[in-house]
Amino acid sequence: MPSLLILVPLLGIIILNLMFKFTRRRVAFWFAFVLFSIQLAITLLYRQPWYRITEPAFSPFFKVGLSIDSLTFVMLLCIEIVCLASLVVSRYTLIDRDQRFNFINLLIIASVGMNGIVMTRDIFSLYVFLEITAVSSVILIAFRRGKLALEGAFKYIMLSAVATILMLSAIALLLLVSGGTDFQAIHTSIMGFHKSRVIVFAIGIFLTGLFIKAGLVPFHGWLPDAYASAPSAVSVLLAGIITKACGVYTLIRLCTSVFGPSVSLNQVLMLAGTVSIVAGALAALGQQDFKRMLAYSSISQVGYSIVSLGCGTPLGLIGAVFHLFNHAIFKSLLFVNAAAVEERVSTTDMEKMGGLSSKMPVTSATSLIGFLSASGIPPFSGFWSKLIIVIALWQSGNRAYAVIALLAGVLTLAYLLLMQRRVFSGKLREGLQGVREAPFGFCLIALLLAAITVGVGIFFPVAYAVLFEPVRGVLLR
């Protein structure tokens, strides 16, 4: 069954490319829309207690295990939702049908990579899927081939290559010890030789590689350029899910299922997370370009998940995954709205904007929801995840980190409200009189993402019980 989430999109690419040139360019969008909807349906059906399906005949083909647990389920939901959002944005921002067709192919390939990352339980297969996602991401960043886009892609590919070397070296060292590459075998070996310096070194370089992928400070150099220079649809994908699946999810999975509990590891995670929270928020305050501001905000928000993971407690893990989900949704919402504004105003410079709420009321209102959720204001979803993170930090005795996380929330509120004021509030800036509301598709996807943000916040007990509380099961005892 999980193998369907790899095979369905691949089959989709083959069918799409086998069509006649004229037909495929016309139907590519709706074809991909149906494909992602099917993937979303497969994910949702998998969790229904009444739904039982026998393993398809081709499943034994995948001898390296793919499986879906509660953590994977949350990630798959994020992947499919964000891919759909990115697809809708591409419909309005990539007008040229050839360009959109190529984008859709790469989007599907990236989704295969991310689905694989979250479902595999083998460290080498994990590396292969990370590479699939990284290769498609580089091409997507450089998609328009402008100088800035190529520079962003170059930075990404160089740092990604460093991360790759570090992770591959770590895998080789871990293979030396365990003789296998599945998570369980490596975990057993690590527990047996946990004082070995070579194993500590292997875990250290693997973590460094993942910090680069997650864009944590001080390895964040590639992230603002990549987010800001990529086409809008790609920014949604990168900020919404790619860095989360490649960096944050992988960190969570490996720290909980492979590396196992460790005080020093937790300290490293909390320190890296806290530095990212503060540095990302401070850097966001000084930005003129709203895509760059959102990029720095992403660094800060990812820090919250990492610091929560560093607690090493079940509540900390739940907080990390809950905030990861919320961040994927509200950051996608904010990038969708950023794309809508860029589309209508033709700039991302906040100095040239102002008073857009009268012209773009839906975009303005949904942006405000995203901003408030990111800042941790009740009753939005971000409030609950940040509350859980602070409680987890406090309960685990890391009170200084809890206070820093709380204070950084004020910084977040400051820069996001500043952005809302500069872009949407005040008097309409000269030359923007002709601006209209974003196209219907943009508004629809923004409303849906805003509805998830509000819905998860209002129905927090249900969302917590169904989606996030079961995540504690992946934590090793």
Of 231-260, which residues contact other proteins (CB under 8 A)?
A: none
By the rule CB under 8 A, 19 interacts with other proteins: no
Least distance CB 153 / other proteins (angstroms)? 9
Please classify residue 27 by burial: count the beta carbons closer than 10 Å to its beta carbon, then call 0-12 exposed, 13-18 middle and 19+ buried: middle
The piece of 25-33, 138-146, 404-412, 427-435 that touches other proteins (CB under 8 A) is 138-146
By the rule CB under 8 A, 321 interacts with other proteins: no
Of 149-188, which residues contact other proteins (CB under 8 A)?
A: 175-180
Of 258-287, which residues contact other proteins (CB under 8 A)?
A: none
By the rule CB under 8 A, 31 interacts with other proteins: no
By the rule CB under 8 A, 57 interacts with other proteins: no
Distance CA 20, CA 145 (A): 27
Contacts of 14 (CB under 8 A, 6+ apart): none
Distance CA 413, CA 297 (A): 11
Q: Which of 242, 262, 126, 268 is nearest to 183 (CA)?
A: 126
Radius of gyration of the chain (CA): 21
Distance CA 116, CA 136 (A): 14
Binding mask 88-107 for other proteins (x = CB under 8 A): --------------x--xx-
Distance CA 260, CA 265 (A): 9
Distance CA 271, CA 405 (A): 12
User: Token digits for 439?
Assistant: 């196209």
| Amino acid in the structure at residue 367 | S
Q: Find the angle CA(328)-CA(334)-CA(340) to the nearest 5 degrees.
A: 130
Which is nearer to other proteins, 190 or 405 (by Cβ)?
190
Per CB under 8 A, the list member of 35, 85, 109, 212 interacting with other proteins is: 109
Which is nearer to other proteins, 176 or 476 (by Cβ)?
176
Which is nearer to other proteins, 173 or 338 (by Cβ)?
173
Count of residues that interact with other proteins, criterion CB under 8 A = 46
Distance CA 241, CA 238 (A): 6
Which is nearer to other proteins, 51 or 193 (by Cβ)?
193
Least distance CB 348 / other proteins (angstroms)? 19
By the rule CB under 8 A, 131 interacts with other proteins: yes
| Amino acid in the structure at residue 260 | G
Which is nearer to other proteins, 96 or 351 (by Cβ)?
96
Q: Are 101 and 68 in contact (CB under 8 A)?
A: no
Q: Which of 322, 133, 168 is nearest to 238 (CA)?
A: 133
Contacts of 106 (CB under 8 A, 6+ apart): 136, 139, 140
The piece of 76-84, 132-140, 360-368, 413-421 that touches other proteins (CB under 8 A) is 132-140
Least distance CB 101 / other proteins (angstroms)? 10
Footprint of other proteins (CB under 8 A): 6, 10, 13, 61-64, 66, 102, 105-106, 109, 112-113, 116, 120, 122, 124-125, 128-129, 131-132, 135-136, 138-139, 142-143, 145-147, 175-180, 189, 192-193, 195-199
